[in-house]
């Protein structure tokens, strides 16, 4: 279900710009691509390397649900930041969606400003509801659709560490296959997380007139 009106696309800031901001002045002069040759999760320190046109993450794919063994794309990656990057600021920069406030409020704040959907779309921001362990909620930017029950997201501060997490698989575990409940890949552990998180919906990068 998508709430649409006359809309225009808001251009997102390239990921390289976000990584430069997270690296700080010390990392701004170090420019190198970051290759990955294995499917296992990688940890990249932005104090040591700085990409020019984004992060290069090659190698085999990691599939959680889909039968297509090539659909998931690139390997999950952690970008260690020199400063604490919050999920909301990362989502604004990555998606171009100019919403402010706690992550759990993004769904309501988007009403009348941006199109919303209960189905994932590339470039949309997935809004996590607040829970006892995650009182402020969380937001993540959808990068790819793998199957009807799996997507790949980029997000930040998932483990309250201020780091950036790229190419993280998320699976729909709702009984109705409506993306109301999900599990999120734990990149440092190299496996799918066991916790189930309630989802409010997806805010699209289409601003309403």
Indicate which CATH number applies to the domain containing 155: 3.90.1720.10
Average pLDDT over residues 181-207: 95
Count of structural domains within the chain: 1
Q: Calculate the average pLDDT of the chain.
A: 76
Closest CA to 102 of 66, 74, 139: 139
Given this model, what pLDDT does residue 37 score? Answer: 32
Concatenated DSSP letters for 115-180?
Answer: EEESS--TTPEEEEPP-SSSTT-EEEEEEEEEETTEEEEEEE-TTSS--EEEEEEEEE--TTSSSS
pLDDT in tens, 22-72: 555 444 333 333 333 333 444 444 333 333 223 333 322 233 333 343 434
HSE-CB at 71 with a 13 A cutoff on CA atoms is 17
Q: Is the pLDDT of residue 92 over 90?
A: yes
Q: Is pLDDT of 91 > 60?
A: yes
Q: Domain residues for 161?
A: 2-208
User: What pLDDT score does 15 carry?
Assistant: 65
């Amino acid at each position: 279900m998508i709430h649409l009106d006359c809309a225009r696309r808001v251009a997102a800031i390239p990921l390289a710009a976000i990584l430069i901001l997270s690296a700080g002045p010390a990392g701004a002069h170090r420019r190198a691509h970051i290759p990955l040759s294995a499917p296992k999760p990688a940890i990249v320190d932005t104090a040591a390397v700085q990409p020019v046109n984004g992060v290069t993450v090659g190698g085999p794919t990691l599939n959680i649900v889909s039968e297509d063994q090539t659909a998931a794309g690139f390997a999950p990656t952690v970008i260690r930041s020199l400063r604490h990057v919050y999920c909301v600021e990362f989502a604004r920069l990555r998606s171009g969606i100019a919403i402010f406030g706690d992550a759990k409020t993004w769904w309501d704040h988007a009403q009348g400003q941006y199109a919303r959907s209960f189905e994932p779309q590339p470039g949309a921001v997935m809004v996590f509801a607040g829970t006892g362990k995650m009182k402020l909620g969380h937001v993540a930017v959808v990068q790819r659709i793998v199957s009807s029950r799996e997507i790949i997201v980029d997000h930040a501060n998932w483990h309250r560490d201020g780091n950036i997490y790229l190419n993280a698989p998320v699976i729909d575990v709702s009984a109705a296959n409506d993306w109301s409940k999900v599990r999120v890949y734990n990149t440092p552990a190299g496996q799918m997380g066991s916790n189930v998180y309630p989802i409010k919906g997806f805010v699209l990068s289409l601003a309403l007139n």
